[in-house]
Amino acid sequence: MKARVYVMLKTGVLDPQGEAVRHALGTLGFDGVQGVRQGKLIELDLADGTDEATIAQMCDKLLANTVIESYRIEVL
> Which residues contribute to the site for other proteins (CB under 8 A)?
13-14, 16-17, 20, 61-63, 65, 67-68
DSSP letter for 56, please.
H
Smallest distance from the beta carbon of 67 to other proteins, in angstroms?
A: 4
**Which of residues 14 and 76 has its CB atom nearest to other proteins in the complex?**
14
| Backbone φ and ψ of 23, nearest 5° | -65, -40
Please state, in angstroms and rounded to a whole number, the distance separating the CA atoms of residues 1 and 17: 32
Q: State the DSSP H helix or E strand holding residue 45, giving kind and residue range, or none if neither.
A: strand 40-45
Q: Which is nearer to other proteins, 23 or 72 (CB)?
A: 23
- Distance in Å, CB of 48 to other proteins, minimum: 25
